[in-house]
Amino acid sequence: MLILYVKTGCPFCHKVLDTGEELGISFEQKNIADDTVAAELVARGGKRQVPYLVDSEKGIEMYESADIDAYLRANYPKN
Protein backbone atom coordinates (compact mmCIF):
# COMPACT_ATOMS: atom_id res chain seq x y z
CA MET A 1 0.00 0.00 0.00
CA LEU A 2 1.23 3.46 -0.87
CA ILE A 3 0.39 6.29 1.50
CA LEU A 4 1.07 9.88 0.51
CA TYR A 5 0.96 12.67 3.07
CA VAL A 6 -0.09 15.89 1.34
CA LYS A 7 -1.22 19.45 2.01
CA THR A 8 -3.97 21.16 0.04
CA GLY A 9 -2.47 23.49 -2.56
CA CYS A 10 1.06 22.06 -2.30
CA PRO A 11 2.66 22.12 -5.80
CA PHE A 12 5.19 19.47 -4.84
CA CYS A 13 2.39 17.16 -3.71
CA HIS A 14 0.61 17.73 -7.03
CA LYS A 15 3.80 16.78 -8.87
CA VAL A 16 3.84 13.40 -7.10
CA LEU A 17 0.10 12.91 -7.62
CA ASP A 18 0.53 13.67 -11.33
CA THR A 19 3.30 11.07 -11.54
CA GLY A 20 1.07 8.56 -9.81
CA GLU A 21 -1.73 9.26 -12.27
CA GLU A 22 0.65 8.93 -15.20
CA LEU A 23 1.89 5.56 -13.92
CA GLY A 24 -1.56 4.29 -12.91
CA ILE A 25 -0.72 4.33 -9.20
CA SER A 26 -3.26 5.08 -6.52
CA PHE A 27 -2.34 6.44 -3.12
CA GLU A 28 -4.08 6.56 0.20
CA GLN A 29 -3.86 10.32 0.69
CA LYS A 30 -3.52 11.79 4.16
CA ASN A 31 -3.86 15.56 4.40
CA ILE A 32 -1.89 17.30 7.14
CA ALA A 33 -4.60 19.97 7.39
CA ASP A 34 -5.96 17.50 9.96
CA ASP A 35 -3.88 18.01 13.12
CA THR A 36 -4.03 14.29 13.94
CA VAL A 37 -2.56 13.44 10.52
CA ALA A 38 0.11 16.14 10.93
CA ALA A 39 1.13 14.65 14.29
CA GLU A 40 1.20 11.17 12.71
CA LEU A 41 3.51 12.48 9.97
CA VAL A 42 5.91 14.06 12.47
CA ALA A 43 5.94 10.83 14.49
CA ARG A 44 6.80 8.83 11.35
CA GLY A 45 9.32 11.08 9.64
CA GLY A 46 10.36 13.65 12.18
CA LYS A 47 9.25 16.69 10.16
CA ARG A 48 6.01 18.34 9.13
CA GLN A 49 7.01 18.36 5.48
CA VAL A 50 5.08 17.11 2.49
CA PRO A 51 4.94 15.23 0.28
CA TYR A 52 5.92 12.18 2.30
CA LEU A 53 5.61 8.72 0.78
CA VAL A 54 5.17 5.49 2.70
CA ASP A 55 5.54 2.24 0.73
CA SER A 56 4.64 -0.27 3.41
CA GLU A 57 5.20 -3.30 1.16
CA LYS A 58 8.85 -2.35 0.57
CA GLY A 59 9.53 -0.67 3.91
CA ILE A 60 10.35 2.67 2.26
CA GLU A 61 9.50 6.11 3.63
CA MET A 62 10.75 9.35 2.07
CA TYR A 63 10.39 13.09 1.69
CA GLU A 64 11.20 15.26 -1.37
CA SER A 65 9.02 15.22 -4.47
CA ALA A 66 11.92 14.62 -6.88
CA ASP A 67 13.09 11.61 -4.86
CA ILE A 68 9.56 10.24 -4.64
CA ASP A 69 9.07 10.76 -8.39
CA ALA A 70 12.29 8.88 -9.19
CA TYR A 71 11.38 6.09 -6.75
CA LEU A 72 7.92 5.61 -8.26
CA ARG A 73 9.25 5.57 -11.81
CA ALA A 74 11.92 3.00 -10.90
CA ASN A 75 9.70 0.73 -8.82
CA TYR A 76 6.24 1.12 -10.38
CA PRO A 77 6.75 1.53 -14.13
CA LYS A 78 3.60 1.87 -16.20
CA ASN A 79 2.44 -1.43 -17.64
**How far is 26 from 34, CA to CA, in rounded Å?**
21
Provide mean pLDDT across the span 14-27: 96
Structural domain count of the chain = 1
Spatial distance between the Cα atoms of 57 and 32, rounded to a whole number of angstroms: 23
Segments forming the whole domain that contains residue 65 = 2-51+58-75
DSSP SS3 for 12:
helix
CB-based burial of residue 15 (10 Å sphere; 0-12 exposed, 13-18 middle, 19+ buried)? middle
Q: pLDDT tier at 68 (50, 70, 90 boundaries)? A: very high
- Write the pLDDT tens digit of every residue in 39-65: 999 999 999 999 999 999 999 999 999
Q: Rounded distance, CA 20 to CA 22, Å?
A: 5
Q: Looking at residue 79, what is its pLDDT?
A: 64
The CATH number of the domain holding residue 32 is: 3.40.30.10
